[in-house]
């Protein structure tokens, strides 16, 4: 409203042809999408041929975006336009963003003006963590919700008073560096425990996503029946359309790659190739669906 811009809301983001046709008819100056949607767009030949000279910013949020995928996007829309933000519906929805003049790779930026962000101990939800150490991200500011409608227990769990302010406990695990930039490690519910070690699904996914035959992937955990309190790392992969290598050969290549590029406890123990990674209505990877019994 401030800039008198036309705002286009795409009703079905998975209808890539419709999305691309809208961009062809109305050249975008700002593009906002989730990583999975950017990946689908970058696989579309018509999207690759659009004129993005007028695009000022390509904003990504809702989920981490692998470095290799960012590079693919920038090869289409132009370098220096990518901007990652972080937030949630309960915070209207942005908490942090990367300043255009000082983008820091793999980080979701600094708090918005008037917004306070802390990294606290995930157990007690209050003790401040030292810079560089992981903990739960909490935020306080005018954009934080008043509460969940008719859900007092959920509201009490999410909104807590600390030092005279109301803080939203996001449930996300993150790190803040010495410049105040935040890096999101994972959703707390997506963080796995293997042999007592923490495994951030995002880290494993980013590594696997760098393989040329991986169109999309997701890591989830299932309870380890042999070791209560631990998880078995499961990896789901959607192959690129042009991949013709057998699944057995791909598994061998993947296991070798993982052993060479990550700690042993992070290496996926169960690998599944599926036709399509399930997505939510807004295009985010639906890990809840992947956790359902096969």
CATH number at residue 59: 3.40.50
Do 120 and 58 fall within a single domain? Answer: no
Record the pTM.
0.76
With a CB cutoff of 8 Å and minimum separation 6, the contacts of 125 are: 136, 138, 160, 169
Q: Are residues 133 and 153 in the same domain?
A: yes
Q: Are residues 60 and 25 in the same domain?
A: yes
Is 219 found in the same domain as 168? no
State the pLDDT confidence band at 214, using cuts at 50, 70 and 90: very high
Residue-wise pLDDT tens digits, 23-52: 999 999 999 998 889 999 999 999 999 999
Residue 5 within a domain: no
Residue 6 counted as domain residue: no
pLDDT for the residue numbered 275: 95
> Are 75 and 35 contained in the same domain?
yes
At which of 155, 186, 217 does a domain end?
Answer: 186
Chain centre to alpha carbon of residue 174: 12
pLDDT attached to residue 293: 63
Q: Is-contact 223 233, C-beta < 8 A?
A: no
Question: Looking at the domain assignment, is residue 40 inside a domain?
Answer: yes
Domain boundary among 166, 186, 206: 186
Residues 282 and 249 in one domain: yes
* CB 35, CB 55: distance < 8 Å: no
Q: Return the half-sphere exposure (C-beta side, CA atoms, 13 A cut-off) of residue 119.
A: 20
* 9: in domain: no
Q: How many domains does the chain have?
A: 3
Question: Last residue of a domain, which of 159, 186, 213?
Answer: 186
pLDDT score for 88: 92
What is the pairing mode between strands 116-120 and 57-60? unpaired
CATH at 215: 3.30.300.30
Q: Give the distance between the most distant pair of CA atoms in the chain.
A: 60
Instruction: Identify whether residues 252 and 284 lie together within a single domain.
Output: yes
What residues make up the domain containing 163? 89-95+108-186
Give the torsion through C-alpha atoms of 85, 42, 207, 196, to 10 deg.
50
Same domain, 181 and 204: no
- Say yes or no: 120 and 167 in one domain: yes
Which among 20, 22, 62, 60 has a CA at the least distance from the CA of 42?
Answer: 20
Instruction: Report the pLDDT averaged over residues 217-245.
Output: 93
Higher confidence at residue 287 or residue 64? Answer: 287
Beta bridge partners of 192: 199
With a pLDDT cut of 70, the percent of the chain lying above it is 99
Q: How confident is the model at residue 276 (pLDDT cuts 50, 70, 90)?
A: very high
Both 201 and 282 in one domain: the answer is yes
């Amino acid at each position: 409203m401030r800039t008198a811009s036309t705002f286009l809301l795409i009703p079905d983001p998975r209808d890539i042809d419709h999305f691309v046709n809208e961009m062809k008819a109305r050249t975008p100056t700002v593009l906002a999408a989730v990583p999975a949607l950017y990946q689908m767009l970058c696989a579309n030949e018509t999207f690759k041929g659009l004129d993005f000279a007028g695009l000022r910013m390509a904003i990504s949020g809702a989920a981490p975006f692998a470095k290799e995928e960012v590079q693919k996007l920038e090869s289409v829309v132009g370098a220096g336009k990518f901007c990652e933000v972080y937030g949630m519906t309960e915070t209207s929805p942005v908490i942090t963003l990367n300043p255009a003049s000082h983008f820091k790779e793999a980080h979701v930026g600094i708090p918005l003006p008037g917004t306070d962000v802390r990294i606290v101990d995930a157990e007690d939800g209050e003790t401040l963590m030292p810079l560089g150490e992981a903990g739960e991200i909490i935020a306080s500011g005018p954009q934080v919700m008043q509460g969940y409608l008719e859900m007092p227990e959920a509201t009490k769990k999410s909104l807590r008073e600390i030092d005279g302010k109301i803080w939203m406990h996001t449930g996300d695990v993150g790190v803040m560096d010495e410049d105040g930039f935040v890096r999101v490690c994972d959703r707390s519910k997506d963080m796995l425990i293997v042999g007592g070690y923490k495994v951030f699904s995002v880290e494993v996914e980013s590594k696997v996503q760098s393989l040329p035959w991986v169109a999309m992937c997701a890591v989830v955990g299932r309870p380890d029946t042999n070791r209560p309190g631990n998880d078995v790392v499961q990896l789901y992969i959607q192959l690129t359309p042009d991949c013709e290598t057998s699944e057995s050969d791909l598994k061998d290549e993947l296991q070798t790659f993982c052993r060479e590029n990550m700690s042993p406890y992070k290496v996926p123990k169960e690998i599944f190739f599926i036709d399509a990674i399930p997505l939510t209505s807004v295009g985010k990877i639906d890990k809840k669906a992947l956790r359902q019994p096969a």
